[in-house]
Chains A and B, each alone.
Chain A
Amino acid sequence: MAITYLDAIREAQSRALEEDENVYIYGQDVAAFGGAFKATKGLSERFPGRVIDAPISEDAIVGSAVGAAIEGMRPIIEMQFADFSSIGFNQIINQSATQFWRTGVPCPITIRLPSGGTEGSGPFHSQSLESIYAHYPGLIVMTPATVEDAYGMLLEAIRIDDPVIFCEHKLLYYHLKADELPKTILPVGKARIARAGRHATVVACSAMVHEALRAARELAEEGWQIEVVDLRSAKPIDTDTILASVARTGRLLAVSESFPWGGLTAEVVSRVSAEGFHLLDAPPQRLNSKDTPIPYHPNLWRAHRPTWQTIAAATRNLIQL
């Protein structure tokens, strides 16, 4: 039986609730309704009193999670959409992210952000915020691209003694499938070589890994072997694995669905330029979404975000440089 990315997220939460009585889920419509995307479907029946509907109060939702974490609980917060975490931003970056450093008391909370664009979702239901949260000290930011990582990394996120921003991509929820849940996964903090190659390295995370893989298949037909690095976490960034890949290929393209100013791709390019300048045969390149709000109409939306076509074009250009 195939297991989707969304199933994996639900199963990870179910297992965490089963294994640790300190775990609970709090968010809008998460209880009997099972969440806007059904990521918590059936859990409130299985775990009565531990899956709780919250008022539409992202600030108070996160603030209360910090308070509960101080007392030793391990809350899982579901934001209905990553975009709405902006209302809880203060509690995330100023309360949860500073808690351990200021007081020495760990803050083990997991904040699930249904992230990224889908057709017709528009400016306020499409955002990718990993770069924003990765900017702040005290947060770990996970960006799983596979069913296996969605399961294994979410379990790890819940076990980690720090606030974890868990960016799960909505586009992967239903379509990405695996045969079974993994027994083990790569440790958090390690990037994965999603496809080996020797002509160029494409670094990506989350849904962009799949666009990059498709671009790599396309370019393989043209005789180019593209290495795709799945970052897995935006913070920490596994610089060593990226540098090792660039050492093999000499060329770097960093791809992300988030906005172009600064952010994850800039960070990757900056690190490779600073630490691996001698490895580069060409100027490192970046590909992001466009510098506008995320559009509603599918024609505009497809042109706004990086796709396998634009990644392939950027990679062809990189190889010619």
Chain B
Amino acid sequence: MPHTTPSVASAASVDAEKNRERFVSAFRWMLLARTFEDKIAALYRAGKIVGGVYLGRGQEAFSAALGMQLDQKHGDVFAGLIRDQAGRMAFGEPLLDSARTYLGSAEGPMRGRDGNIHRGRPLRGMPAMISHLGAMISVVNGMLMAKRFRGRTDVVGGATIGDGGTSTGAFHEGLNQAAVERLPLVVAVADNQFAYSTATEHQYACENLVDRAIGYGVRGYRIDGTDLEACLEAFAEAIERARRGEGPQMVVGKLLRLAGHGEHDDARYIPPDLRDKPFGGDCLPLARERLLDEKWLSQDELDELVTTTQESVDEAVARAQSEPDPNPFRESWHALATKHLAEGTLPAD
């Protein structure tokens, strides 16, 4: 920048440093999520995990960029869905919670009562998703309403969804409710081109899902969901605007699901050439190239990061595998907090 004055150049270099830190930090979460999910997928194929395994492959940049820029300690909320391993961990979900829930450990947050991606710690800003798409938006709205009742208007709730989920009534009701109440909600729509096997032409008829934002009276953002920097910038702005009281924000990231719906699904219905088309790339190697090109990490640092990430994943999985399974004979088998009103068999307590 030949014409900038020294003071501006100095400010710019601070921004550049922040930019580097943000990018590297997001990349770490993406790598951790991919490494963990590769491990979980392998365990699933080996028959070590019951139920389903759902991967966020190809969506890590979009997911991490939201989760990472929310502030759990400040009181923010993050409601991730099935492709948000990266965002969940970037927000603050311990790796061990993920491993424990997939493996059904009695020590995990769901204690074997629920599994895989149906996990959370609601009191730490992480409500546990149910499978019905769109249903978590209004839950986040309610958490934000509660905080507002207590005078907290500077907290932000992030909720994620896919292109398929935007077709539900619950999504519509939730986003409209947030808009009517002017809640500090950021909705991340990962348009990954397929809802299970259904392509977007059977899911919506608008040109881009962001076109819906104006209909709800919310600010919309349209980004390339494979571009980590674009994701970071869009969510930074959306979170900042929501925190300032500008109401709900809707970020639509176009990308491609680089896995089956779940690991049981070989996704042969996805035409292979989509990977070579716009938004068909893999965000992780794209971000890695950028890191190396910008010299934000050296090859040695990157290799070291890959090694330590793999070690932490192996350690968490090994620990979760060594923990006790839930014991049906010690299970309380009642679903109420108000124990004396529970029907059915109660333990002697």
Q: Which of B81-89, B134-142, B231-239, B240-248 contacts A (4 or more CB under 8 A)?
A: B134-142
Contacts of B176 in A (CB 8 A): 55, 57, 60
* A71-B146 CB under 8 A given contacts A60-B177, A161-B337: yes
Partner of A102, one of B113, B138, B146, B338: B113
Q: Would you call A279 an interface residue if the criterion is a C-beta within 8 Å of the partner chain's C-beta atoms?
A: no
* A94-B130 CB under 8 A given contacts A63-B141, A101-B113, A103-B120: yes
Q: How many residues of chain A get a CB closer than 8 Å to chain B's CBs?
A: 51
- Residues 106-128 of A, flagged 1 when their CB comes within 8 A of B and 0 if not, give 11100000000000000000000
In the complex, the chain A residue whose C-beta lies closest to that of B131 is: A94
Interface centre among B109, B146, B147 (most CB of A within 10 A): B146
Report the minimal beta-carbon distance from B136 to chain A, rounded to whole angstroms: 8
Partner of B147, one of A61, A71, A87, A235: A71
Task: Decide if B177 touches A55 in the complex (CB within 8 Å).
Answer: yes
Contacts of A97 in B (CB 8 A): 335
Partner of A69, one of B132, B137, B141, B142: B142
Q: How large is the interface on B (under 10, 10 to 19, 20 to 34, 35 or more residues)?
A: 35 or more
Task: Decide if B174 touches A63 in the complex (CB within 8 Å).
Answer: yes
From 113 to 145 in chain B, residues with beta carbon under 8 angstroms from any chain A beta carbon are 113-114, 118, 120-123, 127-128, 130-132, 135-145
Contacts of A100 in B (CB 8 A): 335-337
C-alpha gap A162/B337 in the complex (Å):
6
Contacts of B141 in A (CB 8 A): 60, 63-64, 67
| A residues at B contact (CB < 8 Å) | 22, 24, 50, 54-55, 57-73, 75, 87, 90-91, 94-95, 97-108, 137-138, 140, 160-162, 188-189, 235-237
20 more contacts with CB within 8 A, not counting A55-B180, A67-B138, are A50-B149, A57-B173, A57-B176, A59-B170, A59-B173, A61-B177, A63-B170, A66-B139, A67-B144, A70-B143, A90-B132, A91-B135, A95-B130, A99-B122, A102-B114, A160-B341, A189-B341, A235-B343, A236-B342, A236-B343
Nearest 8 pairs of A and B residues by beta carbon: A67-B142, A63-B138, A64-B142, A71-B146, A60-B173, A57-B173, A60-B138, A138-B335
